[in-house]
Amino acid sequence: MPYQNENDGFEVIVVGGGLAGLAAAYILADRGVEVLVLERGDYCGAKNVTGGRIYLNPVREIFSQLLKDAPFERHIAHEEVSLFAASRSLTLRYDGSELGDPPYQSYSVLRAKFDRWLARQAEKKGAMLATKSRVDDVILENGVVKGVRAGGEELRANVVIACDGVLSLVSERAGLRKDIQPQYYAVGIKEVIEMDRKAIENRFNLEGEEGVARLFMGDVTAGMFGGGFLYTNLDSISLGLVVSIKDLLENQREVIVSDLLERFKQRSEVSLLIKGGETVEYSAHVIPEGGFNALNSLYGDGILVAGDAAGFALNIGVTVRGMEYALASGYYAAQTVLHAREKGDYSRATLGLYRQLLEDSFVLKDFKSFRDALSVLNSPRLFQHYPELLGNILRDLYWIPPGPKDRLYSTVRRYLGVREVWQALGDVRRMSKI
Amino acid sequence: MSLTTGLKSKLGLNVFKESSKFHIRIKEGKEKDPRLQKAVLVCPAGLYSQNPEGEVVLSSDGCLECGTCLIACGRELLDWEYPEGGSGVQFRFG
């Protein structure tokens, strides 16, 4: 009797009502599986933080119906990247009809709103949601996960899906996590700044529900690996920084991360953008950015791991992505459970299908393609030297001296000596790994 | 406004729900560990500071539950768990 629940508990327990967990619960409930979601916050999204934006193309097909009515903020129709040096900046803007016409590839998003909505969709399909429920431990019998302990209760299940975020205490207890290494993690800190909708649209030249995504590199992180971001929401701006925890720990100037954000806000280029707005929330979260090499074990006997808990976030410089991987890994975890349920077997061998599904999807393909991204991108030359160099060249090109102006070629040539070009070629060669 | 008061007032904007006990503790005897001193730099809520005796002390007001201190210091130095269900920070925007 494969469908019978041998444990006298639930068929499936999902730990964590974020994107991965809710995606899994939504799919499973839709197929008639009894699934309980345990969320430690007052509501889903209460403990979640994103920068943030979500890219839809990779998950459009698997969640075609679901995402149609999702409460996104603005579709991103304008991209800007700025290189900051101490007292100047240089900005590149990318927009036009290929970004501004539907289907839109990415949206700004606020998690408290989005996750609560997603939780309702899963509940409508029949998933059970228990909020304010912290999971304290897993029930392990002979190395097999048989459920979880929460609030003094034993909750048994055929299979547990650990979607409890980047620190994943559940997969740690199940023995699936690697040792913590600070170089594989970044901290994101963010303010949500409320601003009148019309003021946002006027200030950023937005038409209707268009939005802008801006990235800032260089001096904003005091040259440490990371960057700043700004996303326009409907009635607010998300402004923040992502910084490598290892670089922060080793920074000789003893720069404090919260001061970095204050200094970033005080930059004239930034303060003008948020002028008149009112900060309504300050949040922070660890981001797994170690990529393929830092991924934790994805499954064990009676357990699957999805989303940030597995390490599914990817920093490739111009994009830092996590939410699509969370949704997709939740989806594939659910598919794996459906298969295991069919067989009536939740052993490690059967659950290994999860790895295969992820290998065949964009999830692990991306992680393999970009497995060297962190080591290639984490170079002070990218975050200090090039912003400075480009700024110097631009300054001299724009500079009109009291006397005669240098020829353009010699202006540029001055900065691009043999040594510089040689080193730049080396950087390009390293870049070829990603 | 100094950066520190700026941080305090920012934390005051968040919704926090009280819990019966604080969920992070510095392990006994580790208060002067040099790795712990680095927590001062990385905690976005500024909860870690060094007292005149050179010990790192931890304030329990305004924790964002981000996990940065755990990544930086590890379980060797910190007893770290999430606050009990329904307590701690409750993000309204996230």
pLDDT, tens only, A196-213: 999 999 999 999 999 999
CATH class of B3-89: alpha beta
Q: What residues of A are in contact with residue B65 (Cβ under 8 Å)? A: 47
Greater pLDDT, A166 or A423: A166
What is the rounded average pLDDT of the residues A310-331?
92
Return the CATH number of A10-72+110-177+296-360, one of 3.40.50.300, 3.50.50.60, 3.40.50.720, 3.20.20.70.
3.50.50.60
- The torsion angles phi and psi of A416, rounded to 5 degrees, stand at -110, 60
pLDDT at A4 over 50: no
Tokens representing residue A208 in the block: 């209707």
Task: State which residue of chain A sits closest to B65, comparing Cα positions.
Answer: A285
Contact B90 A46 (CB under 8 A): yes
- Is residue A392 classed as helix, strand or coil in its secondary structure? helix
Task: State which residue of chain B sits closest to A113, comparing Cα positions.
Answer: B93
Which of the 8 DSSP states describes residue A178?
P
A14 DSSP β-pair partners: A37, A161
Work out the pLDDT band at A346, boundaries 50, 70, 90: very high
Burial B10-26 (b: 16+ CB within 10 A, else e): bbeebebeebeeebbeb
Work out the pLDDT band at A295, boundaries 50, 70, 90: very high
pLDDT at A194 over 90: yes
In angstroms, the CA A295 to CA A292 distance is 5
Which of the 8 DSSP states describes residue A181?
-
- Provide the pLDDT for residue A381: 83
Contact B68 A131 (CB under 8 A): no
Give the pLDDT confidence of A47-101 residue by residue, as tens digits: 999 999 999 999 999 998 899 899 999 999 999 999 998 889 999 999 988 888 8
| Cα→Cα distances B12→A335, B8, B84, Å | 43, 6, 21
CATH annotation of A183-288: 3.30.9.90
Which of the 8 DSSP states describes residue A297?
P
Contact A256 B46 (CB under 8 A): yes
What is the rounded average pLDDT of the residues A395-417?
90
- Provide the pLDDT for residue A7: 53
- Provide the pLDDT for residue A51: 93
Q: Domain residues of chain A, as ranges?
A: 10-72+110-177+296-360, 183-288, 376-431
Provide the residue-wise pLDDT of chain B in tens; the chain has 94 residues: 566 678 999 999 999 999 888 999 999 999 999 999 999 999 999 999 999 999 999 998 899 999 999 999 999 999 999 999 999 999 999 9
What is the rounded average pLDDT of the residues A161-174?
97
Q: What residues of A are in contact with residue B64 (Cβ under 8 Å)? A: 282-285
- Is residue B46 classed as helix, strand or coil in its secondary structure? coil
- Percentage of chain A with pLDDT > 90? 79
